[in-house]
Amino acid sequence: DAGVIQSPRHEVTEMGQEVTLRCKPISGHDYLFWYRQTMMRGLELLIYFNNNVPIDDSGMPEDRFSAKMPNASFSTLKIQPSEPRDSAVYFCASSSGGEQYFGPGTRLTVT
Amino acid sequence: DQQVKQNSPSLSVQEGRISILNCDYTNSMFDYFLWYKKYPAEGPTFLISISSIKDKNEDGRFTVFLNKSAKHLSLHIVPSQPGDSAVYFCAADTGNQFYFGTGTSLTVIP
């Protein structure tokens, strides 16, 4: 298995633009997580899905953030409109319970 | 509200010595604890875990200790190797809630 795949690896965008981050989880995993890593707060859980259904989105910072999982092999995290304070590394992870397997992350820079 | 805390942002250890990374938590509902290791420009990778019904779990050079009364866990690496230099994240799980600490950057000096 190729592991969790995220795209793009790097994204630079201007304030106000829409940003879409993509994730393909490991086949057979029924949990999918989106995290944001910052120096101040470490790894913050934004949202997680179980069997494609959002279970806990309490970590989503505000309405500008949205996430979808239309099927078991694909998820998106969208920021609209983006702001400079959204600059961070965003990780997707999947699991079948227990330990999570992380993707390589998307480094987002909003100027 | 930081439910999982790693109060030491960094740690330096000589090669061959023991590295001890600490983690404190506040939620008594956590029943599963994990340590992840992260190299630059990569995602975290799972290292070792412990269930709340245990107080120790060992895997090669890595041992995790859990003290439920103190709400404290620690990761021991012995002997430490230069390849262990990375950021280590503590994580806790209630089954439907997941929290990570802010990480401790370990440097093992050759």
Q: Is B104 on the interface with A (CB under 8 A)?
A: no
The percent of residues in chain A predicted with pLDDT above 90, rounded, is: 86
Residues B77-106 have a mean pLDDT of 94
Mean pLDDT for chain A overall: 94
Of A33-47, A66-80, A84-98, B10-24, the range with the lowest mean pLDDT is A33-47
Which pLDDT value is given to residue B1? Answer: 67
**In the predicted model, is pLDDT for residue A16 greater than 90?**
yes
Closest CA to A70 of A16, A20, A105, A109: A20
Asked if A103's CB is within 8 angstroms of B100's CB, the reply is: no
Q: Is B42 on the interface with A (CB under 8 A)?
A: yes
Residues A77-83 have a mean pLDDT of 97
The percent of residues in chain B predicted with pLDDT above 90, rounded, is: 92
Residues of A in contact with B89 (CB under 8 A): 42-43
**In the predicted model, is pLDDT for residue A69 greater than 90?**
yes
Q: Is B33 on the interface with A (CB under 8 A)?
A: no
**In the predicted model, is pLDDT for residue A1 greater than 80?**
no
Cβ(A103)–Cβ(A3) below 8 Å: yes
Asked if A35's CB is within 8 angstroms of B100's CB, the reply is: yes
Mean pLDDT for chain B overall: 95
Residues in A lying within 8 Å of B, measured between beta carbons = 4, 33, 35, 40-45, 48, 55-56, 91, 93, 98-105
DSSP string, B36-105: EEE-TTS--EEEEEEETT-SEEEETTEEEEEETTTTEEEEEESS--GGG-EEEEEEEE-SS-EEE---EE
Query: What's the pLDDT tens digit per position in B31-82?
Result: 999 999 999 989 999 999 999 999 999 999 999 999 999 999 999 999 999 9
Which pLDDT value is given to residue A41? Answer: 80
Q: Is B103 on the interface with A (CB under 8 A)?
A: yes
Q: Is B62 on the interface with A (CB under 8 A)?
A: no
